[in-house]
Structure 1
Amino acid sequence: MSKLNKIGWEFSSHDVDEERIARVVTVQKNRYRVTDGENDFLAHVSGKFRMNASQSLDFPSVGDWVIVDKLPQEQKAVILEILPRKSQFIRQAAGGKTEAQVVGANIDTVFIVNSLNQDLNLRRMERYILSAYDSGASPVIILTKKDECTEEEIRENVAVVEGIAFGIPILTISSLTGDGISELLDNYLPSGKTGALLGSSGVGKSTLVNKLMNAEVQETKSIREADSKGRHTTTHREMFFLPNGALLIDTPGMRELQLWEGEAVLDTAFQDIETLEEECRFADCSHRTEPGCRIKEALDSGELSTERFESYRKLQRELAYEKRKQNKKSMLDEKHRWKQISKEQRHKYKNMR
């Protein structure tokens, strides 16, 4: 096994010298840590890279494969280029700016983590499922803290999650007792594969990382007893190399995942509603007053919950709004670009006179 294979390299060939290829392990603001499978380097992007990057998406993220110039004596490297991503988990960046943020790249499996306690949130889980499908990675749901629940509570919670996660594997685990850990590693996180843990604070991501690593590599904090909500422990995205040869990206807790894209996979995440819509009498049914509306029938009978349908509608509106914002931003960016070109041309003409 080559040193790159040890860190998840799957490409059969590439035009660049493999000695110049590395993988991004940690991102903290404008600082990066990369590895070539043997050595780690503190890295920064080159001046040319920064000049050509027009948006956050253009910058390296954890899991990215990059071409670097190494400075072995200083244990430093300069990032020159990002190799094409096979998958990327994207969210709307926090704050008021209309900008995408890559949470992790080149992920094989997205693990959507939620606890089996009273903080089990189906609406939040639907958002993660939608974004996971949109990323190009395969989603798997992990329900943690199994040791804190009775068998009946576990069965009830799994059944509820199955109602929104069609065809998605659901694992129940306990990081305290180790129950379910072997199944997770054997079936979904084998050697050479890259996974990413996504979920809000307090669901047990850091505890799970420590269990999988057989070491205390992540700080953990207890949840608030009043509402079972967690406190932030992980403050940055980082890739861990598990003892079995798999790679795992841990991310800071996101209580509210702001969507960036997802229209193309909405039917996959909500295939139950899409199927019902196809059975409506009219193709353009608004599901309000039309006769022969299969959605209204399912809502009245309890076949489809009002909460899930409202969540579907809300996500549709949110994605449409986000698309309008992105289009407006693109138009403003293009206007600014031509304004700048015009300014440079006038300056050039003035100097020629």
Structure 2
Amino acid sequence: MSLPVDAGSFDLSLLGWDDSLAAELPEGTTPARVARVDRGAAEVIAATGQYQVQYSAQVRRAAAADPLALPCVGDWAALRALPEGRHELVALLPRRTAFVRGGVSRDSRGGLSGDGQGQVLAANVDVVFVAEPAMHATDLADLGRVERLVALTWESGGTPVVVITKTDLLHLGLDDLLDDVRGAAPGVDVHAVSAMNGEGVDEVRGHLSGAKTAVVLGPSGAGKSTLVNAMAGAEVMETQQVRAGDGRGRHTTVHRELIPLPGGGLVIDTPGIRRVGLYEMSDGVDLVFSDIEALAQGCRFADCGHQSEPGCAVLAAVDSGELAERRLASWHKLQREAAWMAARTDARLRSEQTRKWKIIHKEMRRTGRNRP
């Protein structure tokens, strides 16, 4: 898709450019915002137009050393003009927010595996629309997936908004479903949306104003592109129907892409995500499970793990029906994953530090600098 940028006339403040970003811009470079990334190159929007740019050697080295340094959609970048008339991306400006997923997958035995490294899905995002279909195949909305994405959103620095899509397909039980979703995301705005008939779209669109940026995240088939089109009031993203037979969505969107919306605001559409691992959690899980954190204040032991300890107020709440057993099981699962990812990250950092010292010592022995 070609963004509506006229050469020499685009106001970058409409994309969120301000004085604090300008203060970070390296001397002799031009600012631009990354609208799309594809195979070592980026499509960016600058004041003078829209460009395809390659990465400088410095940017490539930084990304090779740390995947989080790889340019992604939403980044603000510094461009340098090349003699032949092209532009090169030479630096990324500091990110205000970053939605990062961990490199976590399931191994053949059903356990967690991964390299402890993360991937930035979107940068400098103000709002994260967690899109979850009211029905996916033959199942209702996945509350565990909502909890996971909301936890990552809080950790990113953005504001989560849960959007239950395709509500026109659920003829009974919508109110109960929305109550369950609100219980899974305490304190988060939850909207019921049918992009096909326009219900709820204005409420979702109301979270964007001025130059705010949102990203839409959710599984394939959640209707993310349809929602983006509804907010834009035009067919800006290609859509497809859910596959017949298994009810699963097709991967229509294959790139993350920044879309300026008429009337202000920007939205990043994303491909469907099957699994999103946690990454360097601090407060995200606690915020999602604030109800469990509140109940835990009544536990006999301050370090209660809510497993089988005597005097556990959380287990008592499960027994009484005040807290859903599914909710506590989800808390345990995310706590274990967050601890596992932290351990993997620490191990990777220790390994990198050891490798660096081995290189230093090897060089010292080679040059004889360690001799008296």
Deviates more, 1:313-322 or 1:209-218: 209-218
Asked if the contact 1:8–1:247 (Cα under 8 Å) also holds between the matched residues in 2, the reply is no
- Among 201, 224, 238, which residue is 1:181 paired with? 201
Aligned to 1:120: 141
Asked if the contact 2:202–2:231 (Cα under 8 Å) also holds between the matched residues in 1, the reply is no
- Among 23, 39, 42, which residue is 1:29 paired with? 39
Aligned to 1:169: 189
- Among 134, 153, 157, which residue is 1:132 paired with? 153
1:1-353 alignment runs, 5 A limit: 3-12=11-20, 13-14=22-23, 16=25, 20-53=30-63, 54-71=65-82, 74=85, 76-93=86-103, 96-117=114-135, 118-150=139-171, 152-185=172-205, 187-348=206-367
Distance 1:191 1:156 in 2: 34
Matching residue's letter, 1:36: A
Q: Structure 1 vs Structure 2: percent identity of aligned residues? A: 37
Asked if the contact 1:109–1:140 (Cα under 8 Å) also holds between the matched residues in 2, the reply is yes
Aligned length: 347
Helix, strand or coil: the match of 1:286?
A: coil
Asked if the contact 1:24–1:66 (Cα under 8 Å) also holds between the matched residues in 2, the reply is yes
Deviation at residue 340 of structure 1 after TM alignment: 2.5
- Alpha-carbon RMSD across the aligned residues, in angstroms, is 2.3
Cα–Cα, structure 1 residues 40 and 93, in superposed 2: closer, same or farther, change >3 Å? farther
Give TM-score scaled by structure 1 length.
0.91
Deviates more, 1:121-130 or 1:335-344: 335-344
Deviates more, 1:63-72 or 1:337-346: 337-346
Give TM-score scaled by structure 2 length.
0.86
Deviation at residue 292 of structure 1 after TM alignment: 2.5
Asked if the contact 2:33–2:45 (Cα under 8 Å) also holds between the matched residues in 1, the reply is yes
Asked if the contact 2:29–2:78 (Cα under 8 Å) also holds between the matched residues in 1, the reply is no
Distance 1:250 1:30 in 2: 20
Distance 1:88 1:340 in 2: 32
Distance 1:269 1:226 in 2: 34
Deviates more, 1:137-146 or 1:93-102: 93-102
Distance 1:183 1:20 in 2: 36
Cα–Cα, structure 1 residues 183 and 323, in superposed 2: closer, same or farther, change >3 Å? same
Distance 1:66 1:337 in 2: 29
Distance 2:154 2:221 in 1: 24
Distance 1:338 1:297 in 2: 51
Matching residue's letter, 1:120: A
Asked if the contact 1:119–1:229 (Cα under 8 Å) also holds between the matched residues in 2, the reply is no
Deviates more, 1:135-144 or 1:293-302: 293-302
- Structure 1 unaligned spans of 5+: none
Helix, strand or coil: the match of 1:261?
A: coil
Distance 2:104 2:43 in 1: 23
Distance 1:289 1:141 in 2: 33
Distance 1:302 1:115 in 2: 27
Q: For 1:194-250, what per-residue CA distance to the aligned partner results, in whole angstroms no more than 9, with x for missing partners?
A: 000000100000111222233333232222455533222211211111112211111
Deviation at residue 148 of structure 1 after TM alignment: 2.2
Helix, strand or coil: the match of 2:209?
A: coil
Q: For 1:133-154, what per-residue CA distance to the aligned partner results, in whole angstroms no more than 9, with x for missing partners?
A: 000000001111122233x432
- Structure 2 unaligned spans of 5+: 1-8, 106-113
